[in-house]
Structure 1
């Protein structure tokens, strides 16, 4: 069988959902070619019997080779088995599966309201021993809802339903859809159970559909009977009750292995009763703040689930168990006792991890991270974590005169203190209610890097607040985010940034720019650092006269050196927000949107102005002998997936970011700037090798303060866990509103969008379930660094291609 075709009212349709109803599908194709069927056909069916049919040579001949051995040789037996393993046998037409497909299509259309649908199948031959199945569908006219009536036996439930009838999914005039009835059943169940109907279940809802003497219309009757249950082998029927919570009891140190242990401690706090086998180890509010089940309130599934979620988020208990029991003290039998069983995790826990990593900087890295967690530090469900990290890595981008494979290393320690609430000197419940599961995280850390480059010390500290405004939405506010970066080896700058040195050294070899033999080595090259510094000083002070162009070049190199070797002090405040429709890891039809705004240095400038702080010779403020950075930065990141079924997915990503310096700064710190290229960006270029603008990546680490990226992928299954992808990445970086003067690197208007680079290519991905190994080959399809008549496809060849290795998908 080579093809399925579906005709609706004699018109071909290609709706994937409709095709998914078919039981038998033809062999898979790539670009219209049944490649894996071809592999199967190349394999010899019975390789041994083929050789048995050949007349054997005389056994006594010195060239005689046993047939069985020859039949199992690699080139014949081995390759055939391999082709069979990766190939697909031909799909043989099965009339029974066609009949089942017709029946399933009938159900499919019936559920969409086409009660009079007519479907027939026809098998057509299209060649020797080949055929296709055509399905002809005449759906007829879809039925619509004529009227909706109700028959709800329990008065209190009927009242609840009538009060929310406007929210009903089933309304007169709508087309009949089976899924609408299922959704309405779930809506009603959620409504009743969140209003106290503890005994109510979805199977208590039924619908009567009447189409008699109605043309293409259906009358719907919603029926909900009274509550039926068994009592001593007798079926009892009575109206549903709305239950209230009479008590909330929290068992703070429950153990299933010792469930009958005597409870020795008990505390009443805000209508909650906390009990434990030993002395209570928690401040009551730390537990009760996580409980949404209130004494005197109605039973609610939503409050139960929210309580479980919040208690789990405390990270000091195992997943909680919440059960309800009828309160026998209530003569009306309409009260429930909520019992919450909490099993504490160990106060101390130790962990360690050994990771192999890959990034846009490190080709390969090996890191070891030990950690210790201390729970309930101040008896308020806080968690304190100490962790360390040791990393060695290899990077071809670092200066490496001794050709050492592991040429980078990092040692660091971090401390994190998490509070399961907003820690502020004033109440925040009205702004961020506890239903948003807020938390406060205080972090600090120190690391030192040795990378045969500038080497760095990095100090960080932050106070941030996290909460979830709604399901699948997150918000974060960093009240303070402090970073201090100290360069340990600035004298090594020109060993690291070799392109800057090369440009400087070329100028220094000009006989008219000679600055003295003691600043050159035996080969006539500038020495690092005395020679380079002396040459720059001579040109900029005009001790050695130079042309305007050469002066500008040297000045640009010197400014870049100063910016990348100066120590950075950043005090920032930022807010980030994300929302997604993704349901789980397997979801392939969703969108994700993230945005962030950051302001740095403004608080320090207010302080400097208020205290009349003096400015330095560069007309800038200093704190601790450091010029602090001042800028505002904003980012927008959007990802969208479309599931085309049959493991085919289209994914796109758009990103825009800009950081504008002002006040105390005329540029952005390297750690806060943008770069382009690499395995998670424009894959036609190596990281830091694209841009800014049309400069052609002339520096070693090219960065700028504005970035625009748009990427798209078509992902498909090749075989089993092996996936493929075709991709296109467009984007670039530019300097804007800073001290960069190179017109090729700056963004002056929409016309500069012609310098957006385009990289295209294909990739292979292997899904290991817990992560994906990814190999992408990118080509420079449109290169803005070239002259305008040579930008398209001139660098689109294997010699200029870039092989990217990554973990998981790029977006």
Structure 2
């Protein structure tokens, strides 16, 4: 106890001395008469306000004061300290310049503070919140070359809304305003608030834009506040048009002609006019239904604009269809720039023509990619991809992508004889911007629904072990309800795997392992898959989420109609290959919380299960779950964790094996912070494992049971993220804290940590190098 007390005393003395040093060293650099500005405080003197209201008003007022004092941490100002100790650089580069102006922060002095201006801000902001009789004073408190400004506000009583009246006369615009008045933000009994009044003007403007008032603007509205007609600090609001509102703003406009330029170029416009005559006779040859597609070279089928354009001749203008059309045109993926113009064609009848000026992207592109990679399974490798893209294959904005690739992974450490891997293949995908189906599919989303068709082939060679030939194909639909919700349905998703050149060496290794034998068995997997994604991470919110749920049903109808039952010896085949039958479900949920401008907390939960039945007694190896690695539980090398409490140390040397399972549970948490421009740090913890649905006598402890919590692996670590905008290079160093294959009462490893032992460091410090965030 005495030793601990002495340690605490030393810590207190150390931090106290450090704080005193930082504090004193910053003020000693000030010139004679200068004072370091340490901030401002607003005091509110009003007995009628609740503590909650006072606190909110005080916080809002202090946020509006300028300038802000030097940043501090635990009462210290390290940035100011670095600015002071660094010498004035001779050039705008070098260590001194970096330390003084990039890391450091120039002192904010009392002389930089315009106290009278801040006092006016406090009064004006208070009046905008309904405190019409607000008065403010200020005082300066100084000591030891430091100064703080105290502002005192006497706001008086806050005025409340007594009544809201909307102008009502016979002109169309005011009639429409009255129609939407029931949704007003100005509620009787609420405090007068200028911010709410501005929001109300914008709300009315948005509603009028939906009713054809294209030229209307929020500034055409005035909301008058009258406090003389009532007593007891209440105010009456009158919503009305300004007297100088232009006539155009009062008129409802309808669409006359819809004209599309799908090959628009700024050079086609001279003196504000298009080089193609716009009279009716000249436009007639470009007519398609109710639109005109000016495409002399016929690069695009006109019908693609039927599905993208929501404005038709005679329609009343509305903002929703306006934005929806622009978004769908962009979402086609074939246009680089999309511009929209409205030109009055008949001012007497309030009509205008709408022009869509579309600049195409490069229709074809060829890209060569070379990649280098390494992973925690002791493999390093490279990949070469050649990709060809055609963005308008059949003139209907169909996107066709084809690629060929080759890759290799070479063992650079770890267990001996893990063998190298070579892959080569090709794939092609056609994406059609509509739903190709015998039924009608209508979508009012800003995102164009797509039909996707893909085929692919891959050759894989595990040197000295085997080669695999994999053929794949799919047909399905992708559509979005909105920017947050996405659906991906594959009506059919087929994979056919056939082995070749299985060596006697691999046969001898796999003789006692059914799991290894299944790797080189012929596999036929087909069936529908569906995934649903919801995310609001693109929104500027403090808390955001991401969710993806996936359902994979293989061979279900075929197994049902054929009466397949492998347990009864009735396994069915197609062309001599038993087809897989299973149901698989996976959920990926992520939560993000912003702690500040430069720090955040991220977490993820993954839960999945795959259940074989009917024609199968196990899940195909390629469809199972894996754990460990740079995007999973980082304290364990890729695909080496689990299943369950199975001990991989029982595997013989030279025994190549990827641990896989039918059930997966995983939880990850990460604190992220930016410390300097592109340099970010993270502290993370991961937990989870995989399990089997059925017993495997060759892997004891692998089956999922009620004791699964005792088989959860835990790891944690520290990471660096180099954010270069075009890519994020991630380096995560992790170590295991709980190892599920140790004896049940000895799975926590805190007592085994030994950084001084090179053998321990080699086995327990896992470096993951990856691109992008793990989640």
Pick the TM interval, shorter chain. 0.7 to 0.9
Residue 311 of structure 2 is aligned to residue 293 of structure 1: yes
* Between 710-719 and 248-257, the greater mean CA deviation after superposition: 248-257
Counterpart of 2:186 in structure 1 is: 170
How far did 1:808 drift? Answer: 2.4
Aligned to 1:807: 771
1:677 aligns with 2:628: yes
Matched, 1:348 2:364: yes
- Cα deviation for residue 755 of structure 1 reads 3.0
- Asked whether the 8 Å contact 1:736–1:748 carries over to 2, the reply is no
Q: Is 1:571 the counterpart of 2:522 in the alignment?
A: no
TM-score normalised over the length of structure 1: 0.76
Shift of the alpha carbon at 1:115? 5.6
| CA-CA distance at 1:91 after TM superposition | 3.5
Residue 589 of structure 2 aligns to a residue whose secondary structure is strand
1:537-576 aligned at under 5 Å gives the runs 557-576=512-531
What does residue 761 of structure 1 align with? 717
1:669 CA displacement: 1.9
Name the CA distance, whole Å, in 2 between partners of 1:690 and 1:588: 35
User: 1:747 and 1:92, CA in 2 relative to 1: closer, same or farther beyond 3 A?
Assistant: same
In 2 relative to 1, CA 81–202 (structure 1 residues): closer, same or farther, beyond 3 Å?
Answer: closer
Partner of 1:420: 433
SS in 2 for 1:276: coil
The 2-side partners of 1:138 and 1:485 are apart by: 79
> Are the equivalent residues in 2 in contact too, given 1:722–1:766 (CA < 8 A)?
yes
Three-state SS of the structure 1 residue aligned to 2:322 is: helix
Change (3 A) 1:103 1:619: farther
Aligned to 1:223: 240
Provide the aligned length of Structure 1 versus Structure 2: 705
Asked if 1:706 is matched to 2:670, the reply is: no
Following superposition, the deviation at residue 419 of structure 1 comes to 0.9
Structure 2 unpaired stretches of 5+: 1-35, 46-50, 269-273, 652-656, 756-760
Distance in 2 (alpha carbons) for counterparts of 1:797 and 1:143: 68
Q: What do the CA deviations read for 1:579-634 (whole angstroms, capped 9, x no partner)?
A: 222336x876422222222211113324534xxx8979954222232222222122
Q: Which residue of 2 aligns with 1:497?
A: none
Q: Distance in 1 between matches of 2:489 and 2:637?
A: 33
Superimposed CA distance per residue, residues 447-478 of structure 1 (whole angstroms, 9 cap, x where no aligned partner): 22334364432222111211111232211111
- More displaced stretch, 158-167 vs 112-121: 112-121
Provide the C-alpha distance between the structure 1 equivalents of 2:559 and 2:108, rounded to a whole number of angstroms.
77
Structure 1 position 772, deviation (Å): 2.2
Distance 1:108 1:664, change over 3 A: farther
Q: CA deviation at 1:319?
A: 2.5
Cα distance, 1:42 vs structure 2: 6.2
Structure 1 stretch displaced more, 190-199 or 344-353? 344-353
Closer, same or farther: CA 450–565 of 1 in aligned 2, 3 Å: closer
Q: Secondary structure of the equivalent of 1:305?
A: helix
Contact 1:683/1:802 (CA < 8 Å) preserved in 2? yes
Once the two structures are superposed, the pairs formed by residues 568-607 of structure 1 within 5 Å of their partners are 568-583=523-538, 589-606=543-560
2:680 paired with 1:723 = yes
The structure 2 residue matched to 1:302, chosen from 320, 338, 348, is 320
Matches of 2:362 and 2:637 in 1, distance apart?
Answer: 46
Work out the CA distance in 1 between the residues paired with 2:596 and 2:570: 61
Deviation of 1:164 after TM superposition, in Å, equals: 2.8
User: 2:83, 2:100 within 8 Å by CA — same for their partners in 1?
Assistant: yes
Residue 276 of structure 1 pairs with residue 295 of structure 2: yes
Superimposed CA distance per residue, residues 36-70 of structure 1 (whole angstroms, 9 cap, x where no aligned partner): 55655665x4899xxxxxxxxxxxxxxxxxxxxxx
Q: State the secondary structure of the residue aligned to 1:320.
A: strand
Q: Is 1:260 aligned with 2:275? A: yes
Shift of 1:101: 6.0
1:440 aligns with 2:451: yes
Contact 2:377 2:637 (8 Å CA) reproduced: no
Task: Give the distance between the partners of 1:283 and 1:422, measured in 2 at CA.
Answer: 17
Distance 1:398 1:604 in 2: 44
- Find the partner of 1:468 among 480, 499, 513: 480
Name 2:7's counterpart in structure 1.
none
Question: 1:705-737 CA distances to partner (integer Å, 9 max, x unpaired)?
Answer: 222222222222322332222222222222235
Deviation at 1:242, TM superposition (A): 1.2
Distance of aligned partners of 1:253 and 1:804 in 2 relative to their CA distance in 1, 3 Å threshold: closer
Q: Does 1:182 align with 2:192?
A: no
Deviation at 1:420, TM superposition (A): 0.7
Partner SS, residue 682 of structure 2:
strand
Distance 1:78 1:27 in 2: 24
Aligned ranges for residues 402-413 of structure 1 at < 5 Å? Answer: 407-413=420-426
1:291-337 CA distances to partner (integer Å, 9 max, x unpaired)? 11122211122212211222222233342332222223x7x332222
- After TM superposition, the structure 1 stretch with the greater mean CA deviation from structure 2, 377-386 or 438-447, is 377-386
Alpha-carbon separation, structure 2, partners of 1:391 and 1:47: 49
Q: Decide whether aligned partners of structure 1 residues 481 and 102 sit closer, same or farther in structure 2, where only a CA change above 3 A counts.
A: farther
Assess if the C-alpha contact under 8 Å between 2:376 and 2:768 holds in 1.
no
Match of 1:386 in 2: 402
Question: 1:299 aligns to what SS in structure 2?
Answer: coil
Checking the alignment, whether the CA contact within 8 Å between 2:131 and 2:156 is kept in structure 1 is: yes
**Structure 1 residues 776, 348: closer, same or farther in 2, change over 3 A?**
closer
Does the alignment pair 1:157 with 2:173? yes
Equivalent residue for 2:209, pick from 187, 193, 199: 193
The aligned runs of 1:4-153 (5 Å cut-off) are 20-21=63-64, 23-25=66-68, 28=71, 36=79, 45=87, 84=100, 87-89=103-105, 91-97=107-113, 99=115, 129=145, 143-151=159-167
1:269 shift after superposition: 3.3
> For 2:474 and 2:722, how far apart are their aligned partners in 1?
38
SS in 2 for 1:242: coil
Tell me what 1:369 maps to.
385
The TM-score with structure 2 as length reference comes to 0.80
Among 636, 639, 664, the residue aligned to 2:590: 639
DSSP 3-state at the match of 1:636: strand
Question: Aligned to 1:604, what secondary structure does the other structure show?
Answer: helix
